[in-house]
Amino acid sequence: MSYHFWSDEETSLLIASIKRYNFDWEEVQFKTFPNLTIAQIKNKFYSNKQFKVLANQPITDYEKQLIRNSRQNVQNKPENVQQELNDQLNDFLNKINDYKEK
């Protein structure tokens, strides 16, 4: 497992997701941080005592918006990855064709 450097926005999103999913770590990971392990998410949360205080406060409108935005990003990623792979494959095939023509 590699170390993840958390941005300020990711840290805010972590707190918001914990509030939203009521400490259901699998749900937090699946819906918000699919590229991280549950252990990485828990380690970040438990590394700061202030997070526990924040997580027990009511969820704010800003935090709800963060979660909505993260869900859209997670849902769009597979399409973006597939498109990027298709583009790379097409570029590669074009280079092969160019090479053959020489």
Give the tens place of pLDDT for each residue, 28-74. 999 999 989 999 999 998 888 888 888 888 888 888 888 888 866 66
Q: What is the pTM of this model?
A: 0.61
The pLDDT > 90 percentage for the chain reads 28
pLDDT averaged over every residue in the chain: 81
Q: If you search the block for the tokens 């790379």, which residue do you land on?
A: 88
Q: CA–CA separation, 11 vs 33, rounded Å?
A: 11
Q: Please report, for the chain, the start and end positions of each structural domain, with discontinuous segments joined by +.
A: 8-73
- Residue 100 confidence (pLDDT): 76
- Reported in sequence order, the residue ranges of the chain that DSSP labels E, i.e. its strands, are none
Q: Which of 15, 17, 11 is nearest to 29 (CA)?
A: 17
Q: CA–CA separation, 13 vs 17, rounded Å?
A: 6
Q: Which of 8-12, 14-18, 55-59 has the lowest mean pLDDT?
A: 55-59
Q: CA–CA separation, 100 vs 49, rounded Å?
A: 62
pLDDT band at 95 (very low <50, low <70, confident <90, very high): confident
Report the alpha-carbon angle 94-99-101, nearest 5: 95
